[in-house]
């Protein structure tokens, strides 16, 4: 890398100003933000994105899925390939101010530095603010539309319900058809990079400043409905009843043991149960049970899935219940590009920052992109591992370090791209 590039750093003050303005949109009393997709606060944050991009002299675009872009033509020609730098401006309900927002302000700042220093790269740069990463409507909506992995059926049965989806699309002036039109030609993409908070404690525990993400864990879910018989809770003896709660609760306890003993490093979660009829004097006839599972390894994910199904069937048999099984979908683990990881490591070492390889336990837009181009993610430490909560906090020095690693990774990718080895 020539000397003019090795001296480049982000403007920390300017990035902090951006970050603080952004945190005001949907600010909650406890220091967090509430910016569900296409809520008034989210729409204001989106306006801010466009204003900042215009002010910095970038081209501003949006696509049919509502993804917003700020483009810097620093490549050899306007039609050159593009390196995407992304994250998201939506939040979970009553979430934290760092999740997504940090990646956007760091990406915007990186483009400003490249522009101000008249750096030429072998590709153009594009900051992209993805629609509905968190799943108010669908989850990874914008990135899966862009990568072509979004199925129309997903829009017909969205996580947040049809009504919420329709309302959200109306607020943003987009339609189901326009969402599916947002698919991009992968040949136009050099890669994808994202800076994000870790949302866990591994970096802090290892006293490392930078996480180099190796893979975004795969995830799947099932709804198991245990079916017994409603009876009088006082007159039916314990041995005579077909109690759906026994199967559901026994499953909740046994899947944790199953994962701990048989699948170290994987996670399972029983996130919800609904009892019907749901009265304390009636033996539960139906209990719907939502079970989610995750792993960084595709083979392990499949084995874990098979074991969960087997466990659910065994619990139903044990209590003489019927079992209805409904899949909530499955995403395979998404490995990050080794070449991009090498560029991130090179950047962290140049800045003398301790780095650590990590699997991401949380889902991210990078998993959509990994299917169509080389993708990489940079993590910075989360105090107390807290996220999706107003307690979410990352020291500004860590944010600044992460942004400098992002900028330098862009430059490294440019160097490797122009001097193929």
Pairing assessment for the beta strands 82-88 and 375-380 based on DSSP bridges: unpaired
CA-based nearest residue to 255, from 308, 177, 329? 308
Q: Which stretch binds Zn ion (CB under 5 A): 64-72, 92-100, 216-224, 381-389?
A: 92-100
Choose one: 77-85, 97-105, 115-123, 282-290; the region binding Zn ion (CB under 5 A): 97-105
CB count within 10 Å of CB 283 equals 21
Half-sphere exposure of 210 (CA within 13 A, CB side): 28
Is 32 near Zn ion (CB under 5 A)?
A: no
Containing H/E element for 176?
helix 176-180
Site for Zn ion in 290-329 (CB under 5 A): none
User: Closest separation between CB of residue 39 and Zn ion, Å?
Assistant: 16
Q: Which stretch binds Zn ion (CB under 5 A): 9-17, 91-99, 284-292, 374-382?
A: 91-99
Instruction: Give me the least distance between CB of 276 and Zn ion, in Å please.
Output: 35
Kindly state the smallest distance separating residue 92's Cβ from Zn ion, in Å: 9
Count of residues engaged in binding Zn ion, rule: CB under 5 A: 2
Shortest Cβ distance from residue 328 to Zn ion (Å)? 20
Q: Give, for 61, the enclosing helix (H) or strand (E).
A: strand 59-62
| Minimal distance, residue 77 CB to Zn ion, in Å | 33
What part of residues 120-179 is at the interface with Zn ion (CB under 5 A)?
Answer: none
CB of 142 to Zn ion, least distance (A): 12
| Pairwise CA distance, residues 212 & 11, whole Å | 23
Torsion, Cα 400 92 378 382, to 10 degrees, reads: 60
Q: What DSSP assignment string belongs to 358-394?
A: EEESS--HHHHHTTTS-EEEEEE--GGG--SSTT---
Interface stretch with Zn ion, choices 59-67, 98-106, 139-147, 259-267 (CB under 5 A): 98-106
Q: Shortest gap between Cβ of 107 and Zn ion (angstroms)? A: 13
Of residues 336 through 355, those in contact with Zn ion by CB under 5 A are none
Q: Is 228 helix (H, G, I), strand (E, B) or coil?
A: coil
Contact stretch for Zn ion (CB under 5 A) within 20-28, 99-107, 177-185, 342-350? 99-107
Is 99 an interacting residue with respect to Zn ion (CB under 5 A)? Answer: yes
The structure tokens listed for 408 are: 């330098």
Cβ atoms of 179 and 62 closer than 8 Å: no
Q: Which is nearer to Zn ion, 139 or 414 (CB)?
A: 139
Nearer Cβ to Zn ion, position 49 or 226? 49
Binding of Zn ion at residue 361 (CB under 5 A)? Answer: no
Q: Compute the least distance from the CB of residue 22 to Zn ion, in Å.
A: 14
The distance of closest approach from Cβ of residue 172 to Zn ion in the complex, given in angstroms and rounded to an integer, is: 19
User: Of the ranges 16-24, 95-103, 175-183, 406-414, which one interacts with Zn ion (CB under 5 A)?
Assistant: 95-103
Cβ atoms of 36 and 52 closer than 8 Å = no
Contact status, residue 408 vs residue 5, Cβ threshold 8 Å: no
Judge contact between 126 and 150, C-beta under 8 A. no
Of 64, 96, 100, 211, the one binding Zn ion (CB under 5 A) is 100
- For binding to Zn ion (CB under 5 A), which residues are involved? 99-100
């Amino acid at each position: 890398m020539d000397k003019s590039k090795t001296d480049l750093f982000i403007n920390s003050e300017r990035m902090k100003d951006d970050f603080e303005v952004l945190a005001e949109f949907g600010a909650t009393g406890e220091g967090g933000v509430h910016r569900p997709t296409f809520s008034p606060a989210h729409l204001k944050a989106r306006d801010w994105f466009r204003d900042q991009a215009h002010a910095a002299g970038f081209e501003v675009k949006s696509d049919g899925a509502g993804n917003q872009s700020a483009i810097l033509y620093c490549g050899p020609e306007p039609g050159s390939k593009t390196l995407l730098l992304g994250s998201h401006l939506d939040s979970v309900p009553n979430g934290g101010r760092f999740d997504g927002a940090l990646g956007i302000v760091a990406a915007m700042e990186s483009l400003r530095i490249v522009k101000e220093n008249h750096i030429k790269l072998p590709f153009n740069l594009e900051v992209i603010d993805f629609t509905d990463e968190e799943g108010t409507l669908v989850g990874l909506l914008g990135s899966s539309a862009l990568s072509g992995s979004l199925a129309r059926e997903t829009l017909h049965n969205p996580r947040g319900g049809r009504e919420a989806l329709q309302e959200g699309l109306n607020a943003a002036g987009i339609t189901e058809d326009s969402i599916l039109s947002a698919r991009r030609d992968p040949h136009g993409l050099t890669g994808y990079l994202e800076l994000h908070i870790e949302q866990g404690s591994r970096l802090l525990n290892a006293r490392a400043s930078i996480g180099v993400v190796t893979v975004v864990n795969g995830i799947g879910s099932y709804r198991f409905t245990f079916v017994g018989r409603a009876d009088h809770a006082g007159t039916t003896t314990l041995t005579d009843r077909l109690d759906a709660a026994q199967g559901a609760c026994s499953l909740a306890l046994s899947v944790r043991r199953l994962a701990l003993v048989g699948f170290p490093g994987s996670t399972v979660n029983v996130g919800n149960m609904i009892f019907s009829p749901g009265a304390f004097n009636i033996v539960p006839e139906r209990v719907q049970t939502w079970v989610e599972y995750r792993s960084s390894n595709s083979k392990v994910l499949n084995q874990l899935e098979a074991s969960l199904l087997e466990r659910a069937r065994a619990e139903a048999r044990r209590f003489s219940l019927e079992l209805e099984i409904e899949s909530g979908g499955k995403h395979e683990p998404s490995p990050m590009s080794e070449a991009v990881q090498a560029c991130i490591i090179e950047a962290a070492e140049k800045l003398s920052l301790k780095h650590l390889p990590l699997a991401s336990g949380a889902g991210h837009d990078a998993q959509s992109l990994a299917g169509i181009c080389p993708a990489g993610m940079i993590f910075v430490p989360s105090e107390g591992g807290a996220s999706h909560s107003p307690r979410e906090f990352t020291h500004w020095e860590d944010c600044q370090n992460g942004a400098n690693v992002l900028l330098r990774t862009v430059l490294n990718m440019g160097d490797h791209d122009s001097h193929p080895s």
